[in-house]
Amino acid sequence: MKRLPTGELIDGDLVLTRTFRASAEDVWVSVTEPDHTARWFGRWEGEAGPGRTIKVQMAYEDETPWMEMRIDACEPPRRLALSASDESGDWQVELLLEEADGTTRLRFIQHGLGKDLLGEVGPGWEYYLDMLVAVRDGSPRPEFEDYFPAMKDYFVRLADGR
């Protein structure tokens, strides 16, 4: 199934948006509770809270690696900010939820992503967020091949300002 990329580059940050017919509290559970995150991103363990570090298992990556993520901010049900470091560099992500009229908009932001990584990383976040949508609405789970390399050129052009 052909998927269209939705990512935007705003002031150097990668921004992706998804909308749900649900309360912010309901969507918050999907993006913070370990048994829910396991369904679309990966499970996590540890004691959660601002300033604390949890371990996340990337369930849909090769070899399902574990990584440590620091919880930089947790303001239920509106804002979650996380950071991590790996061989690719430092990662700072933020999830912002806004509710209006029974609908919640989730804005996923990766701050300061190097333009050289956008062609690789952008399609991956599109995939994960569409996994979240599929888990929540019961639609078929997406196939990674519909995202990478299919969306790579879009994100490379975005990085180049085209």
In the prediction, which pLDDT does 65 show? 87
| Structure token digits, residue 97 | 């939820």
Does residue 2 belong to any structural domain of this protein? no
Does residue 1 belong to any structural domain of this protein? no
Question: What contacts 26, CB < 8 A, 6 or more positions away?
Answer: 20, 104
Does residue 20 belong to any structural domain of this protein? yes
Burial of 150 (0-12, 13-18, 19+ CB in 10 A): middle
Q: Give the number of other CB atoms < 10 A from CB of residue 136.
A: 18
Does residue 22 belong to any structural domain of this protein? yes
pLDDT in single tens digits along all 162 residues of the chain:
778 999 999 999 999 999 999 999 999 999 999 999 999 999 999 999 999 999 999 888 888 889 999 999 999 999 999 999 877 778 999 999 999 999 999 999 999 998 899 999 999 999 999 999 999 999 999 999 999 999 999 999 999 987
Does residue 34 belong to any structural domain of this protein? yes
Does residue 124 belong to any structural domain of this protein? yes
Domain extent, residue 31, equals 8-159
Does residue 147 belong to any structural domain of this protein? yes
In the prediction, which pLDDT does 15 show? 98
Whether the Cβ atoms of residue 11 and residue 155 lie closer than 8 Å to each other: no
Does residue 150 belong to any structural domain of this protein? yes
Strands 53-57 and 44-45: antiparallel
> For the chain, how many structural domains are there in total?
1
First to last CA, the chain: 25
Q: What is the CATH number of the domain that holds 124?
A: 3.30.530.20
In the prediction, which pLDDT does 72 show? 98
